[in-house]
Amino acid sequence: AKASGRNNFQWFHPKMLDETNDRMTMASALRHAISARELSIAYQPQVDLRTGRVEGFEALARWRSREYGSVPPDQFIPVAEDSGMIVQLGGWVLRRACRDVASFQRVLGRPLKLAVNVSPRQFRSSSWFAEVVGALKDSGLQPSQLELEITEGILMDDRWEVLDLLSSLRDLGISIAVDDFGRGYSSLAYLTRFPVDKLKIDRSFIREIVAESHAPIVDAIIVMGHALGVSIVAEGVESRDQEHYLRSRGCDEAQGYLYSAGVPAEDAVRTVQAIGVF
Ligand code: C2E
Ligand code: CA
Ligand code: CA
Ligand code: CA
């Protein structure tokens, strides 16, 4: 089957992952994805809730496989993680995204931020720090423009290297965001122990704020984060009602389909301009 048009994906069926054999086959297909030019990046705008302006993008990996069709990242990232391929794949995303964002800002004439997802295995790889430095040098982006989105799991790993690595990245001027905040173990203690700049409230909480069942949790995360000097991003914002609520509570930034889904690099500048028009 073929995909027709960029909004018409042919989704990979989860059942195909049932067998270890299939996972291994997928891992080997993924191994060739970079050189086969099957990987790309979707850029999703992040909006400042006070000004309404796009501050930057989150880079989201996309894989359109010759064999499997469009495979969602929730399927192929775990495969890449388990097989160790994530180190190579994540390195590619980082370098590519830095270069793309450097070119978007040349067109727009103002600096933009870039958020990149970092999985635990990647974060633990010995080459990671050098790759980050290399991607910045190669693209000309300033360290202050790069934000690394890590998961709570990384912070629960109590080995000293985590603190050491985060501190080194921070010393360069790179920001650290905790992704999917509230979904996992969410310990307040680690926010005081680790150098974290941002919390991204998991979209499962944002979905419910207008119905109010999750409003107290969202309120608490915003108040607590601000008290600790951490800025707050809401992800999965889909409606004006959600946006108004978040703005009234002092949430700093928002990201979600209300503004735009992730778009291919060639549409990123136009998307920023369209959001600025409201
Ligand atoms: P994430 O980091 O939490 O990324 C946000 C996900 O929410 C993205 O899904 C995005 O397309 C989706 N999303 C954005 N706005 C909305 C909205 O308003 N409503 C709803 N319902 N969804 C929204 P996506 O692109 O399928 O990525 C899934 C996950 O895969 C990401 O979750 C992230 O954990 C992982 N991922 C994606 N790219 C990379 C990568 O380059 N490296 C690593 N390590 N993980 C990645
Ligand atoms: Ca993320
Ligand atoms: Ca997230
Ligand atoms: Ca996630």
pLDDT tens readout for residues 177-236: 999 998 876 667 788 888 999 999 999 999 888 776 788 889 999 999 999 999 999 999
State whether the beta carbon of 93 lies less than 6 angstroms from ligand 1.
yes
For a ligand 1 pocket test, name from 117, 149, 275 the mutation site with the most ligand atoms within 8 angstroms of its C-beta: 117
Nearest CA to ligand 1 atom 19: 236
For a ligand 1 pocket test, name from 41, 116, 235, 238 the mutation site with the most ligand atoms within 8 angstroms of its C-beta: 235
Ligand 2 being an ion, which residues bring their Cβ within 5 A of it? 117, 149, 179
- Classified as helix, coil or strand, 173 is coil
Say if the ipTM goes beyond 0.95. Answer: yes
260 and 238 Cβ atoms separated by less than 8 Å: no
- The b/e string for 6-45 (b: 16+ C-beta within 10 A; e otherwise) is eeeeeebeeeebeeeeebeebbebbeebbeeebbebbbbb
Tens of pLDDT, residue by residue over 137-161, are 999 999 999 999 999 888 887 666 8
Q: What percent of the chain has pLDDT over 90?
A: 70
Cα–Cα distance, 171 to 165 (Å, whole number): 10
| Distance of alpha carbon 273 from the chain centroid | 21
Predicted confidence (pLDDT) at residue 267 exceeds the cutoff of 70: yes
Confidence of residue 20 (pLDDT cuts 50, 70, 90): low
Instruction: Please tell me the predicted confidence (pLDDT) of residue 15.
Output: 55
State whether the beta carbon of 60 lies less than 6 angstroms from ligand 1.
yes
